[in-house]
Amino acid sequence: MPAIKDPKDPSGANDPADPDPNNPDPNSPDPNKKKDDPPVDPLAKLEAADKDLVTKLIEQKVKESIADIKTKLDGAYSARDDALKKIEEADRKKRTEELAALEAAGKHKEAFDIKIAEANTKYATLEMRNKELEKQVLELTRDASLKDHLRDTRKFRSTKASDMAFQEIRGQLVRNDKGEWVHRSGVSVEDFVGAFIKDEANDFLFEPEINTGLGGNKPGAGGDAANKSLFERSQAEVMRMAAEGRLPKRK
C-alpha cells in the first residue's frame, strides 16, 4: 500500500520518517550523488591506533571464517570419498555374488565373459593413466632441457624476458622419429637456441653485450641504420630500441 502523502507537504521534504528528504524517490539512488564518487571509508573518522585495532580484528575474523570454511570443506570431501568407497565396495560385493550365482547355476561362460569385460576395463584405465604420465614426463624432460640450454646463453634482461623466449621456442619443438625433441625444422634444440640468441630481432630480450673497445661491435644493417625512420624499421627493431631506451624523443 503506497504511503499517504501530507497534502500540506506533497514532496515529503519535511517528513521526519524519510531517511533522505532530498531524494524524491526513496527507491532510487540519490540523484545528487555522482556514480564516480568513491565509497565512504567507515574507519576514516577513527584515530590511527583505533583504526589499526579494528583492521586487525577484521582480518582475524576473516581468517577464522576462512579456516572454518576450509574445515567444513575438508569434512565434506572426506565424507564424499568415504561414500564413494562404500559404493565401490557394495558394487564389488554385488558383482562377486552375481558371478558366484552364475557359476553355481552352471553358467560358466557368462561368468567368464563378465570377468573378461572387467579385466579389459581395468586394463584400458591403467593404459590411459600410463599414457598421461608418459606425456607429463616427456613434457617435463623437454622443458628442463630447454631451460638448461637457455640458462647457458646470454643473460636475459628479466625473468619476463626469459619466459618469453622459453614460450616462443617451446611452441616450436616437436618429437622426431627417434622420440627426441627437436625444432620443427629438424635442427636440434641446442642449435635452434643458438640461432635464436644470435637473431638481432631477439636482442631486446637480453642485456646488452659489454663493449670491450676491440672492434667487437656488430655493424648496423645497411651501414646507415642510425638514420632510418621508425616507419622503415621492423616491429622487432622498434621493440628492441624501446627496451634499450633509444627511441627518439618527440620535439
Looking at the chain, the whole-number percentage of residues with pLDDT higher than 70 is 66
Torsion angle of C-alpha atoms 152, 157, 163, 164, degrees rounded to 10 = -110
Q: Is residue 38 part of a domain?
A: no
For residue 240, count other CB atoms closer than 10 A to its CB. Answer: 20
Give the C-alpha separation, 71 to 195, whole Å: 54
Same domain, 85 and 142: no
Please enumerate in sequence order all residues whose Cβ is within 8 A of that of 169, keeping only pairs 6 or more positions apart, or say none: 146, 150, 189, 192, 193, 196
37-72 pLDDT per residue, tens = 566 666 667 777 777 788 888 888 888 889 889 888
Confidence at residue 235, expressed as pLDDT on a 0 to 100 scale: 61
Regarding whether 191 and 98 lie in a shared domain, the answer is no
| One domain for residues 84 and 150 | no
Higher pLDDT, 11 or 198: 198
Q: Both 64 and 158 in a single domain?
A: no
Are 144 and 204 in a shared domain? yes
Number of domains in the chain: 2
Mean pLDDT for the stretch of residues 195-200: 89
Cβ neighbours of residue 236 closer than 8 Å, sequence gap 6 or more? 200, 201, 202, 204
Does 194 reside within a domain? yes
82, HSE (Cβ side, Cα atoms, 13 Å)? 6
- In this structure, the answer to whether residues 84 and 176 fall within a common structural domain is no
Domain membership of residue 126 (yes or no) is no
CA separation, residue 14 to residues 3, 19, 86 (Å): 15, 11, 69
The mean pLDDT of the chain is 77
Q: Are residues 66 and 157 in the same domain?
A: no
- Distances 6 to 11, 20, 27, 124, 242 between C-alpha atoms, Å: 8, 17, 19, 80, 70
Taking residues 88-109, report their average pLDDT.
86
Percent of the chain at pLDDT > 90 equals 16
Q: Which of 92-101, 139-148, 214-223 has the highest mean pLDDT?
A: 139-148
Number of continuous H segments (helices) and E segments (strands) in the chain: 5, 2
Q: State mean pLDDT over 196-221.
A: 70
Better-predicted residue by pLDDT, 25 or 134: 134
C-alpha to C-alpha distance for 97 and 123, rounded to whole angstroms:
23
Asked which of 106, 128, 154 is the last residue of a domain, the reply is 106
In a domain, 36, yes or no: no
Q: Which domain holds residue 74?
A: 44-106
- Give a yes or no: residue 77 inside a domain: yes
* Among 146, 233, 221, CA closest to 191: 146
Residue pLDDT, tens place only, 113-172: 888 988 898 899 999 999 999 999 999 999 998 999 888 878 888 889 899 999 999 999
Sign of the CA dihedral with 32 first, then 36, 40, and 45 last: negative
Q: Is the pLDDT of residue 90 over 70?
A: yes
In the block, residue with C-alpha cell 561368468: 111
Q: What does the pLDDT read at residue 170?
A: 93
Asked whether residue 33 is domain-assigned, the answer is no
In this prediction, residue 6 carries a pLDDT of: 56
CA angle 235, 237, 242 (to 5 degrees): 95
Q: Mean of the pLDDT values across residues 216-239?
A: 56
Cell of 234: 621492423
Find out whether 199 and 175 touch, Cβ atoms under 8 Å.
Answer: no
190/233 same-domain check:
yes
pTM of the model: 0.43
Q: How are the residues of the chain apportioned to helix, strand and coil, as percentages rounded to the nearest 5?
A: 55, 5, 40
Q: Are 209 and 200 in contact (CB under 8 A)?
A: no
Question: Is 193 within the bounds of a domain?
Answer: yes
Could you tell me if residue 143 is inside a domain? yes
Which residue bears the cell 564518487? 37
pLDDT of residue 181: 92
